[in-house]
Structure 1
Amino acid sequence: MRCRHATAALVALVVFAAAPLHAAPVSPPLTLERIMADPDWIGPPVEQPYWSADGRSLYYQLKRSGSSIRDLYRIDPVSGVGGKVDDAALADADGGPAVYDRARTRAAFVRHGDVFVRELASGRLLQVTRTPQREAAPQFSADGRALQFRVGNDWFVYTLASGVTAPAAVLKAEKDPEAKQPDDLERLQLRLFKTLREARADRDAQRAREQALDQADPTRVARPFYLGDDVQVMDTELSPNGRWMLVVTAPKNAAEGRKPELMRYVTESGYAETEKTRTYVGRDAPAPQSLRLLDLAAHASYPLPTDVLPGIKDDPLKALRDKAIAALRKDGHADEAKALEAPALRPVRIVADAEDGGGGGIVWSEDGGQLAVQLRAIDNKDRWIATVDFGKHALVPQHRLHDDAWINWNFNDFGFLKDNRTLWYLSEESGWSQLYVKTPDARNARALTAGTFEVSHPVLSPDGKWFYLRSNREAPYRYDVYRLPADGGALTRVTAYGGMDDFALSPDGARLAVLHSSPYVPPQLAVVNADGSGARELTDTRTPEYKAYTWVEPQYVEVPSAHGAGAIHAKFYKPADYDASKPHPAVIFVHGAGYTQNVHSSWPYYFREQMFHNLLLKEGYVVLDMDYRASEGYGRAWRTAIYRQMGHPELEDLLDGKAWLVKRQAVDPKRVGIYGGSYGGFMTLMALLRAPGEFAAGAALRPVTDWTSYNHEYTSNILDDPRLDPEAYRISSPIEYAENLRDPLLICHGLIDDNVLAGDSIRLYQRLIELHKDDFWLSLYPLDRHGFVHADAWYDEYRRIHELFTRYLGPAD
């Protein structure tokens, strides 16, 4: 199960309602020191809940106060009784989530990196491995006689009856020493010397004997598969029936480009230390990947060419490519022009999800008779799902999703129904992520859901009759669990939290463990019946100190767009005693990541910022937090509006937000500030530099200032390759507009940020120095990366932001 929000610590196992919080009548004084302190004072949220193997208990992790250690807790979902699993009881605790054999008599799971099997009838626990390596991805064989698991990219098979563990296959990224053919000198030697001929014949006979024994005797160690010395293994997936293995490879010595280094000045050693980070966008694209199918029974290896994929030979960037190549040739850069020529076959990568140790882009049917692979073009324009014809050793295209902008990072889940042949998958082809099913021989797929809302994280019930999924069907900012019949039917809501963060279906499919939250309540654990009845709250992790505060609930508003974008969803904060008869200062907060959603009814990633906004409210400000274009939750068109023009549609939305504040909320247009981190820092810079005079001051935290220095995977999706489309990078980079600065600007950056490098802020700072600009400041934090973790740094950063707004926006009159 995937948790969208962070950690937890259990203070009391009591029933509570995650509704608007009404604490003590009088709140303690709210200070910046308290807001930016270690969040242990709040009571961290519940983390990674999962069901016990027998379905009678729920486990979850909770962060230990004052430490990064997570403790394991267990609770009875019926009585609500539970607590911390002490060290003595850990040896018999279940890991999770568990997988089951087809007869549902055994469960397997990984705990502390080792594999265990639980006999469900007796409760007997069997430890399968005890190694220094970390095992992962256990799965029972299709016949239930063995347990398969992986260590890195190596798969092992544990036979339940004998207790013997053996490798499923031995992979070697080297040449087959026996496949070498004699050259002319060797042939001469063999012709001249009988003894050499006899020795060679003996070796050939021994090899043939070994091959025959491999076929006849299953107790023997499998012979190696030699994959060649020019590749490296990226992923492997073993079929449940043990017959096949799919291997993903990439070139062994693919160029990675020059990696910039960051400097650590404050170190334990007392000496400055350096570390490498990642390459810049366009400075060597990700290495292409290839597929190879291994027949473990016949010990045969087959490449799976991708030339059968529809559109694989097209060049969706042809117009940009031709223009760039012509310009390079005109300027005399023939070698660079040649390097930009389109390949005959577009390179691909396997859409992988490493949360389970590998896979994600590869799924087997439960019986091992069907295999599906998801591939993505490195140019980001296509995603394919293909099955494998084992008889012909070939890919069979099943679905192509093309996007003229870029294929989404999300909504790539897929798998097989319980009939072991019907595919299900998510797709944005309608403009919104919806769920589809398709049989391999059908021409077209069938949509199980439809509408202007998103569905994600589909989970098939154990009996295969129901899909459970996460959706914001009721409102863009409200997420709940929904279910629908696997063969089609009505989509019905199971939970009614609005702030549903994650869920896990019980082993029998009768109940759901639900992680849910609200704007001021961190994620908590509840249980509900599969039909939506019998909801029961299980935890409340908030501290008494935190619950003593009274917080201002956000109002969910729709800001009208003057730029053709329709309604822009936002959270608006103002105090209950707000006086609309006089003008007030305002702050616009800009969330990070670009493609994320902060206008929702869950506990926010920006919980510190939300508390800071409460402090501003006490000083007479109002605050607006907008899901500008490119934000998650609003469909494909909203997501891709920024293609080749980052910072332009978003700025229109932010300016519409300011206009709404002035017109509807009695805000002084000359006293509106703006701030945000990461993408929010980038947008703060774009606001000040592309709309000078609109904002009284801005604070850009860890901002991207030049997209040519950001990473490849994120940036090339939105702006393509900088060599093909330099204009998109020029108009999207704040440093190109530095001469426009006229409003006070604070820049804050972690010096060891290995995501957005501190060099981005330092380069802009130097540019502003050379332009002789006034009222700009740079604050660097030597011990923090992109996401700050030290309370002192948090406090100092927000002290400076607060002082900036106090000085240039001022409190309410």
Structure 2
Amino acid sequence: MKKILILLLWPVCLAHAQQITPLSVEKIMRGQKWVGVSPSNYRWSEDSKTLFFNWNPESKDKDELYRVSTANLKPQKSDETAMEKTLSPGYTYSNDASMALAEKGGDIYLYALKSGKEQRLTYTIDRESNAKFLTNGNIAYRQGDNLFSLNLKTSETEQLTHFVKGKKPGKAERAKSLDQNAWLKNDQEQLFDIIKKRNKQHTERRDKPGQDEKVIKPIYTEDKFLAGLELSPDGKYVSYKLMIPSAGGQGTIVPNYVTSSGYTEDMNTRAKVGEPSSLSENYIYDRSRDTVYKINTGQIQGIKDLPDYVKDYPKQLEERQKKNEDRNVNLSSPNWNRSGTMAFIVAESRDNKDLWILKLDATTGNLSLIDRQRDEAWIGGPGIGALNMGWINDDQIYYQSEVSGYSHLYTANVNNGQKKQLTSGKWEVQELQLSKDKKTFYITANKEHPGITHFYKLNVNGGELQQVTTMKGGNLVTLSPDEQWIAVSYSYMNQPWELYVQQNKPGAKAVKVTSSTTAEFNSYKWRTPDLVFFKNRHGADVYARVYPAANPHPNHPAVVFVHGAGYLQNVHYWWSQYSREYMFNNMLADNGYTVIDIDYTASSGYGRDHRTGIYRHMGGKDLTDQVDGVKMLVEKYGVDPKHVGLYGGSYGGFITLMALFTEQEVFKSGAALRSVTDWAHYNHGYTSNILNEPSADSLAYKKSSPIYFADGLKGNLLMCHGMIDVNVHFQDIVRLSQRLIELKKDNWELAVYPVEDHGFLEPSSWTDEYKRIFKLFETTLKK
């Protein structure tokens, strides 16, 4: 009887041993494996019958390869060989889809799809790449810096271009070289009878009809770098780009102190915003005329238009108006229609204010306007840009634009300029794919709610969206090659990502394939936060997630979590990429805090006005949204306004600094992690969009950088930073620390992490950091 009782009690004891309540920082920050490793890296077999993915349900040292068949949907371990035999190597198809090209090991292979026959076309030391079919049935490919074509009927290979590095020799150099060569050639004939004989035979062969020696005009690249080398489908035109190295520019040294050598090792990292960057020139080589000419950007509509912000600098405005110069632009490679009769190019101004879609006249290099997108803040938004455009047929292209205030899908007839909007509403087309038969668009959008994504079908001529996925939350879809199946990576607010498979049609059932979370993780009742919205002081809707306190502390304290990345969304119905912070917020709620997580102005998912609301003033609307969120907590959740703190990393760390420096009456304490302290020291690609360049718009940088407001610090500040951070450099936090010292502030501390980059890796570092954050709130908001 005793043995039976022990056996009956054993499952109860085991379950109790696996429980993680109460939550602690040490338990939360142990790493991903205690939560469970979600499946990832989905790829379909060429026949669309098998889905391969990486997974680690047994918590091994690394993920393993799994596969699931559409026939039974039961995951099984697989091996790389099985996957390689069934996956497509990245085919490029002929127009009739009877043949395909692929690159393997730097060589080009031809596949007859009906028979399955494989033919190797090249076998060289050099790498051949970018193989494609031409309209005449030949194949073109790139080898090194040149293009070649292969006639499949005759097996004849022809070199199409002759790019030469360096400068074209001058007349004097050529004359000297010719004289020297002529002398050597004559001397050889005088010395050797065999040379005289062979030269005579060569002359006779050359003079025969049809035996002229082919000469390809050399194109000299000088001191520039060749890029974007493309051939038109008819083989007539070669487009290419010459990159001009930047004059000057300086990277930032990041010292690495904890090294295997025992010596400090310097890492040379990115330059700062405003540093000179490389320029480019775009050319067309007309093979039939053996002529090279530059693509004419001077014809672009509005190429001389100045941005509005220059009006704040009268002297600069006067100088630029006087010069009346064309703005610098970046051009995409020509995007040709299938028959090779037309091409469009996308131009983006270097000041980030304009994007043009332009029809290319390849015979002249002239450009004519198809569509212009102008934004006095900056061009952006989901799907905006050359990578998300293409041809529906030989006359019609598709693209996305924010002209309506939200990123939506449009088509344009390149011949007559007629445009059509296919989607509309206060929601965004976030991902877009055209079907192989070019009759259907597959769209991922947040049409139902800003925090819910679904997969839709839409006819290329427009009409009603057909919703394919149905589960409320996040639905990330990988489409099978035959477009009959979808792999859905799905999650909910309190449920990490899992794999589902369903047929690609409305009403089909999504079948769950994986279960990844551990028993220990499942033993805690993870919260489903209240997903709410409030009106900010500017009248806009701002969405937030609220974690109400389980048993509020007598002080009724609150903590604001500020997500990072600037243009990122964290208020949604799917599992957060901030999983550690989500769990930490649960722990705070367990300990009497009410926690709020806000999609502040400039977060993604809400359209153009929300996206650009921080233009020329970071720490403006994005910060006041936090303040307005606290006001909502006071009114609706009973929070005491005297006991509010906040924390966040990267952009969230920046907001935390600005909050403690400029909103001292609202926030009593804060933890700023890996924070930007001075935007003039951040990178160019991100910062120049929002604040322009420091030398041109210094006012924007002065309004937006915490280091200029450090004198306002009153509350308690914790700063944490990795010493080998190559994104937000450790120098940032060192400069702010010196500023605080000089201002005689003593209510701050800095914790440094010698082996950590921007995103921490070591559980010990995560644990130390969040124990400090928790201690900060416990000692400042509860006492």
The answer to whether TM tops 0.5 is yes
Contact kept? 1:704, 1:756, Cα under 8 Å: yes
Match status 1:800 vs 2:772:
yes
Aligned to 2:171: 181
User: Which of residues 612, 616, 619 in structure 2 aligns to 1:647?
Assistant: 619
TM-superposed CA distance for 1:67, in Å, is 8.1
CA deviations over 1:600-635 (Å, ceiling 9, x no partner): 222221111101111112111121110100111111
Aligned to 1:481: 455
Q: In structure 2, do the counterparts of structure 1 residues 153 and 469 end up closer, same or farther at CA, with 3 Å as the change threshold? A: farther
- Residues 300-309 or 24-33, more deviating: 24-33
User: Which of residues 587, 590, 603 in structure 1 aligns to 2:559?
Assistant: 587
SS in 2 for 1:729: helix
The residue type equivalent to 1:75 in the other structure is: V
Counterpart Cα distance in 2 of 1:378 and 1:793: 40
Counterpart Cα distance in 2 of 1:321 and 1:187: 58
TM-superposed CA distance for 1:518, in Å, is 2.1
Counterpart Cα distance in 2 of 1:515 and 1:735: 42
The residue type equivalent to 1:555 in the other structure is: D
- Residues 292-301 or 77-86, more deviating: 292-301
**Higher RCO structure (Cα 8 Å, ≥6 apart):** 1
Match status 1:349 vs 2:327:
no
1:280-359 maps to which residues of 2 (within 5 A)? Answer: 280-284=272-276, 286-296=277-287, 299-316=290-307, 319-320=310-311, 322-323=313-314, 325=316, 344-350=325-331
Match status 1:102 vs 2:95:
yes
Q: In structure 2, do the counterparts of structure 1 residues 706 and 484 end up closer, same or farther at CA, with 3 Å as the change threshold? A: same
User: Which of residues 268, 278, 282 in structure 2 aligns to 1:276?
Assistant: 268
Counterpart Cα distance in 2 of 1:144 and 1:322: 58
Aligned to 1:37: 30
Aligned to 1:16: none
The residue type equivalent to 2:250 in the other structure is: R
Counterpart Cα distance in 1 of 2:448 and 2:209: 63
Contact kept? 2:129, 2:141, Cα under 8 Å: yes
SS in 1 for 2:640: strand
User: Which of residues 54, 65, 82 in structure 2 aligns to 1:89?
Assistant: 82
Counterpart Cα distance in 2 of 1:86 and 1:106: 28
Q: Aligned pairs, how many?
A: 753
SS in 2 for 1:584: coil
Counterpart Cα distance in 1 of 2:278 and 2:654: 29
Contact kept? 1:551, 1:614, Cα under 8 Å: yes
SS in 2 for 1:682: helix
CA deviations over 1:147-206 (Å, ceiling 9, x no partner): x566787666677678888876453343345xx43489869989x99999xx9xxx9xx9
1:629-644 maps to which residues of 2 (within 5 A)? Answer: 629-644=601-616
Q: In structure 2, do the counterparts of structure 1 residues 665 and 25 end up closer, same or farther at CA, with 3 Å as the change threshold? A: farther
Unaligned residue ranges in structure 2 (runs of 5+): 1-15, 190-198
CA deviations over 1:318-348 (Å, ceiling 9, x no partner): 7348535499xxxxxxxxx89x986611101
Q: In structure 2, do the counterparts of structure 1 residues 225 and 472 end up closer, same or farther at CA, with 3 Å as the change threshold? A: farther
Contact kept? 1:321, 1:724, Cα under 8 Å: no
Contact kept? 1:57, 1:75, Cα under 8 Å: yes
Aligned to 1:497: 471
Counterpart Cα distance in 2 of 1:86 and 1:325: 63
User: Which of residues 243, 249, 254 in structure 1 aligns to 2:246?
Assistant: 254
Counterpart Cα distance in 2 of 1:475 and 1:488: 22
Contact kept? 1:458, 1:470, Cα under 8 Å: yes
Counterpart Cα distance in 1 of 2:115 and 2:22: 56
1:117-266 maps to which residues of 2 (within 5 A)? Answer: 119-123=112-116, 139-142=132-135, 146=139, 169-177=161-169, 180-182=170-172, 223=216, 225-251=218-244, 253-266=245-258
TM-superposed CA distance for 1:295, in Å, is 3.5
SS in 2 for 1:609: helix
Counterpart Cα distance in 2 of 1:511 and 1:494: 11
Counterpart Cα distance in 2 of 1:504 and 1:97: 16
Counterpart Cα distance in 2 of 1:397 and 1:349: 16
Q: In structure 2, do the counterparts of structure 1 residues 749 and 195 end up closer, same or farther at CA, with 3 Å as the change threshold? A: closer
Counterpart Cα distance in 1 of 2:501 and 2:366: 45
Identity of aligned residues (%): 35
Counterpart Cα distance in 2 of 1:686 and 1:447: 41
Aligned to 2:445: 471
The residue type equivalent to 2:694 in the other structure is: P
Q: In structure 2, do the counterparts of structure 1 residues 601 and 232 end up closer, same or farther at CA, with 3 Å as the change threshold? A: same
Counterpart Cα distance in 2 of 1:215 and 1:614: 81
SS in 2 for 1:40: coil
Q: In structure 2, do the counterparts of structure 1 residues 121 and 597 end up closer, same or farther at CA, with 3 Å as the change threshold? A: same
Contact kept? 1:153, 1:235, Cα under 8 Å: no
TM-superposed CA distance for 1:511, in Å, is 3.0
TM-superposed CA distance for 1:495, in Å, is 1.3
TM-superposed CA distance for 1:45, in Å, is 2.8
Q: In structure 2, do the counterparts of structure 1 residues 280 and 565 end up closer, same or farther at CA, with 3 Å as the change threshold? A: farther
User: What's the TM-score once normalised by structure 1's chain length?
Assistant: 0.83
Q: In structure 2, do the counterparts of structure 1 residues 393 and 588 end up closer, same or farther at CA, with 3 Å as the change threshold? A: same
TM-superposed CA distance for 1:639, in Å, is 1.1
Match status 1:393 vs 2:365:
yes
The residue type equivalent to 1:345 in the other structure is: D
TM-superposed CA distance for 1:271, in Å, is 0.5
Aligned to 2:707: 735
Aligned to 1:73: 66
TM-superposed CA distance for 1:711, in Å, is 1.3
Aligned to 2:13: none
Counterpart Cα distance in 2 of 1:279 and 1:660: 41
Contact kept? 1:750, 1:782, Cα under 8 Å: yes
Unaligned residue ranges in structure 1 (runs of 5+): 1-22, 328-336, 352-360
CA deviations over 1:276-329 (Å, ceiling 9, x no partner): 112221232x322221123356554321121111101222257348535499xx
TM-superposed CA distance for 1:368, in Å, is 3.3
Counterpart Cα distance in 2 of 1:481 and 1:271: 53
Aligned to 1:509: 483
TM-superposed CA distance for 1:759, in Å, is 0.8
Contact kept? 1:503, 1:514, Cα under 8 Å: yes
> Larger Cα Rg: Structure 1 or Structure 2?
2
Q: In structure 2, do the counterparts of structure 1 residues 171 and 456 end up closer, same or farther at CA, with 3 Å as the change threshold? A: farther
Q: In structure 2, do the counterparts of structure 1 residues 450 and 569 end up closer, same or farther at CA, with 3 Å as the change threshold? A: same
Counterpart Cα distance in 1 of 2:233 and 2:477: 26
Match status 1:433 vs 2:414:
no
Q: In structure 2, do the counterparts of structure 1 residues 613 and 579 end up closer, same or farther at CA, with 3 Å as the change threshold? A: closer
1:382-781 maps to which residues of 2 (within 5 A)? Answer: 382-408=354-380, 410-412=382-384, 413-534=387-508, 535-561=510-536, 563-574=537-548, 577-578=550-551, 584-781=556-753
Q: In structure 2, do the counterparts of structure 1 residues 381 and 326 end up closer, same or farther at CA, with 3 Å as the change threshold? A: closer
CA deviations over 1:512-534 (Å, ceiling 9, x no partner): 33332222333333333333232
- Residues 114-123 or 511-520, more deviating: 114-123
Aligned to 1:373: 345
TM-superposed CA distance for 1:506, in Å, is 2.8
Contact kept? 2:485, 2:503, Cα under 8 Å: yes
Q: In structure 2, do the counterparts of structure 1 residues 557 and 156 end up closer, same or farther at CA, with 3 Å as the change threshold? A: farther
Q: In structure 2, do the counterparts of structure 1 residues 52 and 224 end up closer, same or farther at CA, with 3 Å as the change threshold? A: farther
The residue type equivalent to 1:634 in the other structure is: Y
Contact kept? 1:366, 1:418, Cα under 8 Å: no
Counterpart Cα distance in 2 of 1:312 and 1:74: 52
Q: In structure 2, do the counterparts of structure 1 residues 417 and 692 end up closer, same or farther at CA, with 3 Å as the change threshold? A: same
RMSD (Å) for aligned C-alpha atoms = 3.9
Counterpart Cα distance in 2 of 1:769 and 1:598: 35
- Residues 273-282 or 586-595, more deviating: 273-282
The residue type equivalent to 2:589 in the other structure is: L
SS in 1 for 2:274: coil
TM-superposed CA distance for 1:456, in Å, is 2.6
Aligned to 1:61: 54
